[in-house]
Amino acid sequence: MRVVVCGAGQVGTTIARHLATEGVNVTVIDNDQDQVRRVDESYDVRGIVGYASHPATLRKAGAKDADMLIAVTRSDEVNMVACQVAYSLFGVKRRIARLRHAGYLSQDKTGLYAAEHLPIDVIISPEIEIAEGISRRLRTPGAFDMVPMANGEVELLGIHVESNRCAVVGERLMDISRSDELDGVSIVAVIRKGRFFVPDDNDRVEVGDDVYVIARADMVDQVMMAFGHRERVARRLVMVGAGNVGLHLVRKARKASPGIDIKIIERDRQRAEYVSGELGGAAVVLQGDALDRALLEEAQAGLAETIVAVTNDDETNIFASVLAKQAGCKRAITLVNKSSYESLIPTLGIDAVVNPSAVTISTVLRHIRRGPIAALYTLREDFGEVIEAEITEGSRMLRRPLDQLGLPQGMKIGAVVRQGRVFIPEPSTQLEQGDHVVAMVTYSYLRLAEALLGAERTHLG
């Protein structure tokens, strides 16, 4: 499989690295010579300096023989034109573009992106996806992460283990999954003192762990209580940043909870006035600096259950969250772009971090995996993903007990969905054709997992 990636920023570089490690032939285009050189030297990919929308650049990048083009430059217009040129001149079979501007996104429903108009197969909007992710966290306030899977029948929950009051502290994983209270629950990944690992049945839950749990959708409240979380859904919300993410989020939050009280702090006067007009009475918009304690006080941040900081500036998001929590706000959800801040965040009392690049990367990978395996959620760029896969006739996992399959250490099946019924598999469980499995797979074992599942990576299907 041959893929051309337009854009050598954080998203493009990470996607290229992922694909290269999976044996895909990748070429990256960017007009920044230094970024192209870094990509070319650091990963097993080919770097091309030039404008991604120019036919000559795409020709040089091998678009004529490419199976897919992924356009994730900083410009919506460049991404759109690159897809058009790739289709019209080089016949590239599949085209994915990241688009940010709401004016372009609204055109998706009008048929603008059909092949006969502007041929983009998949449009990725990070702002909408981020807003949806935060909205899910607001609905499950004790979780720092929440992702629906298997058509909403299964939930992936990220939960912080805060104290010894948590009922599962000290318990072995096998005993947790077999308990009457948590039957249908599986812990598939643990972050302990900054280290990610896939636990085995004899590992125990410790205070301070961050755990990723797979559970039946109807058990979410029960799971949160077992892990010591009894937080109430926010009735008062303070939002910092009225950009596209903030605007989408207000609309989603208002739709989910019509009675929620929302106050938005926006630094730019023109944007504040625009958003105030767009939202009508759905939220109170305050214009000013979110790091001004007096303005936070006016927004009643100390009385709010949750502050959501989603400006374009990491430092503003982080410090506004810290100040709000110092004032008495119970929970902070913070958008952070720079991965270098990752180790610092837990020490500041921030409850949930949203990384825009990780969101985009997860979405792109989900559309790249075209066989029975689908990348649904990237836990961390250097660790692994939680996948959902259908068991087909070509799977080596079919009709054999799980404990005889030789599953790698970095793969753990958290749930099986069979004809609408969700269950946690036992060592003796035999998978059947048509089953859907939800599993944690580390990147070092992803190709082996695909081989077990019978996934084809040589075509786009």
Q: Are residue 324 and residue 388 in the same domain, yes or no?
A: no
pLDDT reported for residue 270: 96
Looking at the fold, whether 447 and 385 belong to one and the same domain comes out as yes
Query: At 252, is the secondary structure helix, strand, or coil?
Result: helix
Residue 141, domain member (yes or no) = no
Residue among 133, 154, 178 at smallest CA distance from 437: 154
1 Cβ contact list (under 8 Å, min separation 6): 24, 25, 67, 68, 457, 458, 459, 460
Q: Give the domain-ending residue among 318, 339, 354.
A: 354
pLDDT in tens, 372-428: 776 678 887 778 899 999 898 888 888 889 988 888 889 999 999 999 899 989 889
Same domain for 317 and 363? no
* pLDDT at site 458: 42
3-state secondary structure 271-327: HHHHHHHHHCCCCEEEECCCCCHHHHHHCCHHHCCEEEECCCCHHHHHHHHHHHHHH
What H or E segment, with its residue span, contains residue 122?
strand 122-124
One domain for residues 267 and 177: no
Residues 105 and 177 in one domain: no
Give the whole-angstrom CA distance, residue 255 versus residue 164: 37
CATH number at residue 437: 3.30.70.1450
What is the tens place of the pLDDT at every residue in 193-242? 888 999 988 899 999 899 999 999 999 999 998 888 888 888 999 999 99
**Coil, strand or helix at 29:** strand
260 shares its domain with 341: yes
Q: Judge if 296 and 207 occupy the same domain.
A: no
Strand 46-49 vs strand 411-418: parallel, antiparallel, or unpaired?
unpaired
Give the whole-angstrom CA distance, residue 193 versus residue 45.
33
CATH number, position 31: 3.40.50.720
Tokens read off for 214: 């797979």
Note whether 391 and 398 are within 8 A (CB): yes
Is residue 133 situated within a structural domain? no
What does the alpha-carbon distance between residue 453 and residue 442 come to, in Å, rounded to a whole number?
15
- Residue at which a domain ends, from 201, 226, 251: 226
Q: Are strands 261-266 and 284-287 parallel, antiparallel or unpaired?
A: parallel
Q: Which residues of 48-61 are buried (b: 16+ CB within 10 A; e: fewer)?
A: bbbbbbbbebbeeb
Residue 102 lies in a domain: yes
* Domain ranges, residue 32: 2-124
Same domain for 320 and 363: no
Structural domain includes residue 144: no
Tally of domains within the chain? 4
Q: Do 41 and 98 share a domain, yes or no?
A: yes
Alpha carbon separation from 432 to 85, 414, 417, 448, 453 (Å, rounded):
44, 16, 10, 20, 12
> Cα 121–126–128 angle (5° rounding)?
95
Q: Is residue 313 part of a domain?
A: yes
Any domain includes 136: no
Residues of the chain below pLDDT 70: 164-165, 369-371, 374-375, 455-461
Domain boundary among 168, 193, 226: 226
Within a domain: 392: yes
Q: What is the pLDDT of residue 184?
A: 73
Which of 139, 97, 141 is closest to 119 using CA atoms? Answer: 97
Q: Are residues 288 and 308 in the same domain?
A: yes
Q: Quick one: 74 and 153 in the same domain?
A: no
Q: Is 295 left (phi over 0), alpha (psi -120 to 50) or beta?
A: alpha
Same domain, 250 and 318: yes
**Distant-in-sequence, close-in-space partners of 377: CB < 8 Å, separation ≥ 6:** 147, 149, 156, 362, 385, 386
Please report whether residue 130 resides in a domain: no
How, if at all, do strands 436-442 and 384-390 pair? antiparallel
